Structure 1
Amino acid sequence: MTTEIAYGSKEESEYVRRRLIEYNQEHVPDDLKNNYEEINLTIKDNEGKIIGGILSVHCWNWIEVDILWIDKELRGSGFGTQLLTRIEDIAKEKKCTFIKLNTFSFQAPEFYMKNGYKEIAVFEDAPLGSKHYYFRKDIRVP
């Protein structure tokens, strides 16, 4: 067999992604197999301008927060905590057992710790001169 490693097209990338998803599905309990959806929330001011948002994915038994952003002028006003609280409520509704996310030292690691997230891992010099943090918060479903 002759092989070649080359940059893949978008279609080839999707093929590889689908194949891994198919494999993963063989190892996930049946009641979790269809648990995948994007959950994206925004906060708007009274003029309809987006002042913040959270982009996340519900996957199997967790939610992964990809992006949480608040307008620079409004940081520290409680909007970030409101978004986290809402995504945690959604996680409980969907019977998730945890939420995971990552952030950089120049972003908001202290904010997440203040909101009950536990540091799981830290990569030094990612990017150079900064740290890349990974956090988790266990969700208690009543």
Structure 2
Amino acid sequence: MSAQRAVQAASAQDVQALCTRLLAFNRKASGNSFDELPLQLAIHGADGKACAGLFGDVCAGWLAIHVLWVDPELRGQGLGSQLLLQAEQQAKTAGAHSAMLDTFDWQAEDFYLRHGYEVFGRLADFPPGHQRIYLRKTL
């Protein structure tokens, strides 16, 4: 019988070392490149401050969109579409064949559907009374 070990908070070095091991395992098992290429876009207002942006990465042939934001007073002017289309183009140039993202039921499901994304999953009660929605698109 092995001794039980204490669970404790991970240091930044622990996180880096464990992620490096997982990445090596994934590369060996899949034969695919799991190198991440960050994709970070912003639109600035007249005051020089970011008013819209998209952050994601390209990994293993997929664009993963983590954040797409447009300040509320600027919505409906095509900024979100501009960011999304630019991200998809850059991802395709980097070798991505598809895109994925998630949103909540009070956010932008219809926006993504209009841009050719399809729902492939819904997680109920995330948060309670709402849904987290998972979408994908072939580029």
Number of aligned residues: 137
Instruction: Give CA-to-partner distance per residue, 1:8-62, whole Å, 9 cap, x none.
Output: 3232222221211110010333xx5264221110011233121100010111211
Q: How does 1:92-111 map to 2 (within 5 A)?
A: 92-111=92-111
Shift of 1:5: 4.9
Tell me which residue corresponds to 1:122.
Answer: 122
Q: TM-score, normalised by structure 1?
A: 0.89
AA at the equivalent of 2:19: R
Tell me which residue corresponds to 2:56.
Answer: 56
Residue 17 of structure 1, aligned match among 12, 16, 19: 19
Tell me which residue corresponds to 1:79.
Answer: 79
Cα separation, 2, equivalents of 1:114 and 1:34: 30
AA at the equivalent of 1:9: A
AA at the equivalent of 2:54: I
Unaligned runs of 5+ in 1: none
Unaligned runs of 5+ in 2: none
RMSD between aligned alpha carbons? 1.5
Q: Structure 1 segments of 4 or more deviating over 3 A?
A: none
AA at the equivalent of 1:46: A
Aligned partners of 1:35 and 1:61 also within 8 Å:
no
Shift of 1:118: 0.5
Provide the secondary structure at the position in 2 that maps to 1:27.
helix
Q: TM-score, normalised by structure 2?
A: 0.91
Tell me which residue corresponds to 2:5.
Answer: 4
